[in-house]
A and B are shown apart, each in its own frame.
Chain A
Amino acid sequence: MQKKIFIIFLFLVQIGFMRAQESKMVPIQEGFYIPLYGATSKKPVIVKSFYLDIFPVTNTEYLNFVKRYSEFSKSKIKGIFADNSYLSYWRSDFDFGNANPKAAATNVSWFAAKKYCECQGKRLPTMDEWEYVAMADEKRIDARTKTEFNKFILSWYEKSKTYENRIGQTFKNYWGVYDMHGLVWEWTADFNSIFLSGESRKDKSADKNLFCGASSVNATDLMDYAAFMRYAFRGSLKARYSTRNLGFRCASTTKL
């Protein structure tokens, strides 16, 4: 009897451990930054302290989620929440096929990513939070003016299929967060607050008829091509979309 309990206990401890692994977060201290794109003025935006996942969500983790929430499986997800390419590289509902278990889960829609985080008691990071963390290199909170840093990001944009890589192989940044650059693009909670381009391609200048106040939100600094690319990409997304190079990670306002 006692043996049995001991076994159950070990099992539980293991589950607890696995969960801890999944939910590994680091604190990000409050600070401010001037967004490279999307703000009305060059006024700094304050980012309140929060917690962010060290790694993007992996295939294994996403599989666990789908097993618990089968309505988010490949075959059962509702059309309003994801397009046809949702989890397209998975072999079936509960099998991600040849994909690396430790690679980032991609082909996930915004609705699914949001639900995943909510199920962990977390949320998606806001765009400001994400960008704030993403401007750090190994040593500095803001490395955006460093040539090397920008070169690294831009060279990644030229590489193909980095989404097949295991998480945690890029550099560990100032906050202890990995893979903000060099692996996959990531969803943010308010990705749909971008006014870069109307319906993605047609307007080079702000389309005043499509967007109220559009002209007041313009590039503050197009020098940072890397950030510009990210905003352009987000601006072209819709919440149902899922693509092979787009994953996500979760954040939390409070310590979990």
Chain B
Amino acid sequence: MKKIIITVFILLFSLQSCKRKSEETTSTVSKNKEISDLSIYNLPSQWTTQDGKNIELKSLNGNVLVMVMIYTSCKAACPRLVADMRDIEAKLNKKTKKNVKLILVSIDPVTDTPQKLKSFAISNKMDNEPWLFLRSTEDNTREFAAILAVNYKQISPMEFSHSNIISVFNPKGELIYQQEGLGVNNDQTVNKINEEAAKI
């Protein structure tokens, strides 16, 4: 008799699992009330840096983020995108630059291991502040691209098609500006970044 009751309880309990999960999520959400509705810090995904450190995007909270999605084995547009990022960096206000992070997110997490990202960073002299390289799972990467409205597709084992978009986030993690295309005039992008960085 007791056994039956226990079984019933176990059954009931197992049915609740989806619910319990949801409560956990709600409680973490309420703990982070300061995170705004449109913030990327709502994303729970884990990322790995070029130094093999695991971080959540949340840990970047409070900085102006300039983000671009690339893959290191790319021969066509990515070098130009990276050059565009450098160009932006060079024009940043020296006084407020410490509040800005320039982040390169890999769309090819299979090839772009932390080691690969590290050597890319070193060979491009980007293995220091304000540069940061990130990679995650393919699922998280797809989700993050969805947030940035970056489209990408693997067209062969070593080749991807992808949108050339540089995105600027304010310290709250809200997308405030996007620069589209390669080698375009970046004055407005730089202004936006400096403006936001000066507010901190």
User: A: which residues have CB within 8 A of B?
Assistant: 1, 5, 8-9, 12, 15, 38-40, 68-71, 78-81, 110-111, 114, 119, 189-190, 192-195, 198-199, 209-214, 216-217, 235, 238-239
Contacts and interface: CB of A to CB of B under 8 A. Distances in A.
B76 interface: yes
Contact of A210 (B37, B42, B181): B181
Interface string B29-48: 10000000111101000000
A119 B18 contact: yes
A189 B22 contact: no
Interface size range of chain B in the complex? 35 or more
B110 interface: no
Contact of B15 (A9, A15, A79, A216): A15
Contact of A193 (B21, B77, B153): B153
A194 B153 CA distance: 7
A8 to B, nearest CB: 6
A212 B18 contact: no
A9 B143 CA distance: 41
Contacts of B15: 12, 15
B107 to A, nearest CB: 10
Interface stretch (B5-13, B123-131, B188-196): B5-13
Contacts of A199: 180
A134 B121 CA distance: 44
B176 interface: no
A9 B5 CA distance: 10
A81 B42 contact: yes
A210 B26 contact: no
Contacts of B184: 209
A79 B155 CA distance: 32
